[in-house]
Amino acid sequence: MVQVAPLRRTGRPLGATVPVIEIERKFLVAERPSDLEGWPSSAIEQGYLTVDQEGPEVRVRRRGGQAYLTVKSGGGRVRVEEEIEIDGDRFERLWPLTEGRRIEKTRYEIDAGDGVVIELDVYTGALDGLVTAEVEFDSEEAADAFEPPSWLGDDVTEDLRYKNQRLAREGPP
Amino acid sequence: MVQVAPLRRTGRPLGATVPVIEIERKFLVAERPSDLEGWPSSAIEQGYLTVDQEGPEVRVRRRGGQAYLTVKSGGGRVRVEEEIEIDGDRFERLWPLTEGRRIEKTRYEIDAGDGVVIELDVYTGALDGLVTAEVEFDSEEAADAFEPPSWLGDDVTEDLRYKNQRLAREGPP
């Protein structure tokens, strides 16, 4: 449930003594909320340029009007995450190189009260039919205390089959 | 000897009907010219982020004060070359991810007269001891007509062992 990310999402390195802790839970969605279309949403396209899973991961991602190329080391001694902003034309030219290794989804941001936002992802393309939801928390206590609304299904936080890269490469579990 | 590059080095795509033709020859260097240090030179560091040779090639490169991340498709139906300028700090953070897949060299630009520039590369690091030279031409006729100075050695233009990526991964032939 606790994922340690040594670098900020922006790609700026932190001092070695201040790791960023991301605390999030991931759920399947038993039933889409009836008011889903009323929440803000945006299309997300994410594709992997790297073919194998050894070595650094290189991916491109577009959400709304913004696109990024991200290089992320898999772990080990050197941990790196660099997010490079690219323009839409460049994204369009790189996208064909990710064929067969893509996630395409619409993300809805649902205000669940008490400062909790549920990010509900409706997948399209090769993952059509899959719906998941992620919730990020400020603390482990808040994550533990979270009572999922009835429309959320199984907690798959620890299920590796639902990791982004795995979904992109292997399709729906 | 003739290499067809469908995209400009800058990463801007061309219309499909106007391929760019790069015509260059590559030589070993039998003897370094005695006036070598008198020519302009710059350090080049180039490393591959991608571990295997399938799929697109992703590399970082720094020459003088400028650094780039380049994504290049290996061929096939979709051909892409995107060169993204990155700052020096980002280069420094990505460089450790290229360990074991690097080219480090000093490039000398030697004016050989008649508009011909010989780029002489003195490798360092894992390729220490290797010296090669490349000459680019405007036409096939000019390439054929080129009479190499006596200090140039074997023509290795067609020798795959001297391709950059191969040198980076496998070391000196």
- Partners of A49 on chain B (C-beta within 8 Å) are 50, 55-56, 58, 71
Work out whether strand B102-111 and strand B117-124 pair parallel, antiparallel, or are unpaired.
antiparallel
Q: Identify the band that residue B171 occupies on the pLDDT scale cut at 50, 70 and 90.
A: very high
pLDDT over 80 at A103, yes or no: yes
Could you list the beta-strand ranges (E) of chain B: 2-5, 20-29, 41-48, 57-63, 66-72, 81-86, 102-111, 117-124, 131-137, 152-155
pLDDT over 90 at B39, yes or no: yes
- Partners of B49 on chain A (C-beta within 8 Å) are 50, 55-56, 58, 71
Query: Smallest CA–CA separation between A44 and chain B, in Å?
Result: 21
Burial class (CB within 10 angstroms; exposed 0-12, middle 13-18, buried 19+) of A35: exposed
Query: Which of A128, A11, A136 has the alpha carbon at shortest distance from A61?
Result: A11
> Cα–Cα distance between A56 and A74 in angstroms, integer?
6
Contact criterion met (CB below 8 Å) for B72 and B80 = yes
> Cα–Cα distance between A44 and A1 in angstroms, integer?
24
User: Would the CA dihedral through B93, B96, B97, B103 be positive or negative?
Assistant: positive
Model confidence over A123-155: pLDDT tens digits?
A: 999 999 999 999 999 889 999 999 999 999 999
Contact criterion met (CB below 8 Å) for B30 and B151 = yes
Separate counts of helices (H) and strands (E) for chain A = 3, 10
- Partners of A11 on chain B (C-beta within 8 Å) are 90
Residue of A168 and B18 predicted with greater confidence: A168
Q: Among partner residues A49, A69, A80, which is closest to B84 by beta-carbon distance?
A: A69
**What's the pTM?**
0.79
Backbone angles phi, psi at A119, to 5 degrees: -95, 110
> Cα–Cα distance between A20 and A7 in angstroms, integer?
7
Q: Among partner residues B13, B84, B97, which is closest to A78 by beta-carbon distance?
A: B97
> What pLDDT is attached to residue A16?
42
